[in-house]
Structure 1
Amino acid sequence: MEKAWRWLRSLVFVGQMYVMMLVIGLLYLPGAILSAEGARRGCKAYCRWVIWTARLMVGLHCDVRGTPPTGGALVAAKHQSFLDIILIFNALPAAIFIMKREILWTPIIGLYAYRLGCVPVNRGKRGVAIKKMLADVASGHQSVAQLIIYSQGTRVAPGVKKPYKIGTGALYDQMQQDCAPVATNVGVFWPRTGIYRKPGLAVVEFLPIIPAGLDRDTFMARLEEDVETASDRLIAEARASLGEA
């Protein structure tokens, strides 16, 4: 009976989350049209709403550990579900994403992504888009930001191993900026697919900075080691709290 009740609460939570995406998106739309900062305020308001309602409706608390970068940086994150997007974006002062170009054509979301300065890429043409972004930063047409990339290229369930894509290393070389690795355990509570949300403490953790200037192979090896080791630790912590093996 208790599990059925949790399923129902999860269903209501997920439903209202998408309804409020539309409501908040429309509410902040005038500001988003006028400026990137207006778009960022709207996105942060939505992030706060999801975090608050997750705690209130399904007992899922959220925690951000470590020190998020405040200046220009490459943020190379573990991706397990929509929740890590929410937590990482909310923790950073000027986050933008590398994203599929098709998202630009999504109603409301596409406009917000465009106004934030997210980097849309076609498959196989990421380098061109990044060069333009760096040129815009240098010319003052785009503010210095924390560029978020998911190094495995997709959501990966806890405990599943998937190789890190070399594109993160190429960006690290090209940007010549420090990299902030990010680990997480959110997938234990909020799976990559499905409705059910488990109560507990979902964590994203900003790990020690990897300084600019390492060779690509050294950087990729360190990034994967740091993120996977920390994520495994957080996943074990989460499963222990749930009484899971």
Structure 2
Amino acid sequence: MTQIRSALFAALFIAWTLVLGVVYLPLLLSSPRVVALAARFWVKGAFVLLRLTCGLAYRVEGEVPKGAALVASKHQSTLETFAFRLILDDPAVILKKELLRIPFFGWYLGKTGVIAIDRAAGMKALKSMVKGAEDAAAEGRQVLIFPEGHRHDVGATPEYHTGVAMLYAGMGLPCVPVALNSGLFWGRGSLAKRPGQVTIRFLPPIEAGLDRKTFMARLEDAIETASAELAADARARWPHLPR
């Protein structure tokens, strides 16, 4: 049943995306703020479909930052990449430049004020990332980064990259860690979307001004500890989730 419901969601989501992708074409000539608002509507529709077809939703815990801030989140699923568009106010998302080449999706993504990184450019790309983050913060926007760079399975060995430390030092702002358990419900590279409720938890900010080693250790410990707790809580509540 889970596979059937997941396939139904996929079909409806693709149809929803194609319809809005065509309707929204004139917006490519508008401002990033207008496109970001249109993207929120698309994401809201996607979550309605997800709830109706798969019985899957999410909830937010903790204090969501307002105004300029660095947000560093665990990354286990596509779900949180959508959810942050609704949770945060016009976030500047750090992402790989290749995503902007995807037809329709990439066109609109590039118009929402993201910070696209060419990972082949090495240090030049990192400096460009910091500059983009500083500009976004100056506009009062939150900067969102997934410190591991890509999705990880629940319980997998963490791989935190130092790019988040460069942002932390360059922006001079506190960093808000975010833990979650989305991978139990919508796994990496999996069609299956299991019913339940994902938890996205905003943790206490890490104050600005720490040295790189201390910051990285505190960030990883905060996110990994809380994410493990959320996974255990979800498994206790929904026995059908993978162990």
Same fold, TM-score > 0.5, yes or no: yes
Partner residue of 1:238? 234
Task: Note if contact 2:92-2:136 (Cα within 8 Å) is conserved in structure 1.
Answer: no
* Identity over aligned pairs, percent: 37
Q: What is the CA distance between 1:134 and its match in structure 2?
A: 4.9
Aligned-partner SS, 2:111: helix
Q: Which stretch shows the higher mean deviation, 33-42 or 110-119?
A: 110-119
Per-residue CA distance 1:139-185 (angstroms, 9 max, x = gap): x7xx3321111111110011111221111111111111121111110
Q: One-letter code of the match for 1:54? A: L
Q: Structure 1 unaligned runs (5+)?
A: none
Q: What is the CA distance between 1:233 and its match in structure 2?
A: 0.7
Provide the C-alpha distance between the structure 1 equivalents of 2:26 and 2:38, rounded to a whole number of angstroms. 10
Mapping of residues 27-176 of structure 1, within 5 Å: 27-123=23-119, 124=122, 125-134=124-133, 136-137=135-136, 143-176=139-172
Q: What is the CA distance between 1:32 and its match in structure 2?
A: 4.3
Partner residue of 1:190? 186
Aligned-partner SS, 1:71: coil
Provide the C-alpha distance between the structure 2 equivalents of 1:102 and 1:72, rounded to a whole number of angstroms. 26
Candidates 192, 208, 211, aligned match of 2:204: 208
Partner residue of 1:23? 19
Q: What is the CA distance between 1:223 and its match in structure 2?
A: 0.6
Q: Structure 2 unaligned runs (5+)?
A: none
Provide the C-alpha distance between the structure 2 equivalents of 1:24 and 1:66, rounded to a whole number of angstroms. 33
Task: Note if contact 1:24-1:42 (Cα within 8 Å) is conserved in structure 2.
Answer: no
TM-score, normalization: structure 1?
Answer: 0.90
Does residue 1:6 correspond to 2:5, yes or no?
A: no
Tell me: CA distance 1:135–1:193, structure 2 relative to 1, closer, same or farther (3 Å): closer
Q: One-letter code of the match for 2:132? A: M
Q: What is the CA distance between 1:137 and its match in structure 2?
A: 4.9
Provide the C-alpha distance between the structure 2 equivalents of 1:131 and 1:234, rounded to a whole number of angstroms. 31
Q: What is the CA distance between 1:31 and its match in structure 2?
A: 3.1
Q: Which stretch shows the higher mean deviation, 96-105 or 182-191?
A: 96-105
Aligned-partner SS, 2:194: coil
Q: How many residues in Structure 1 have an aligned counterpart in Structure 2?
A: 238
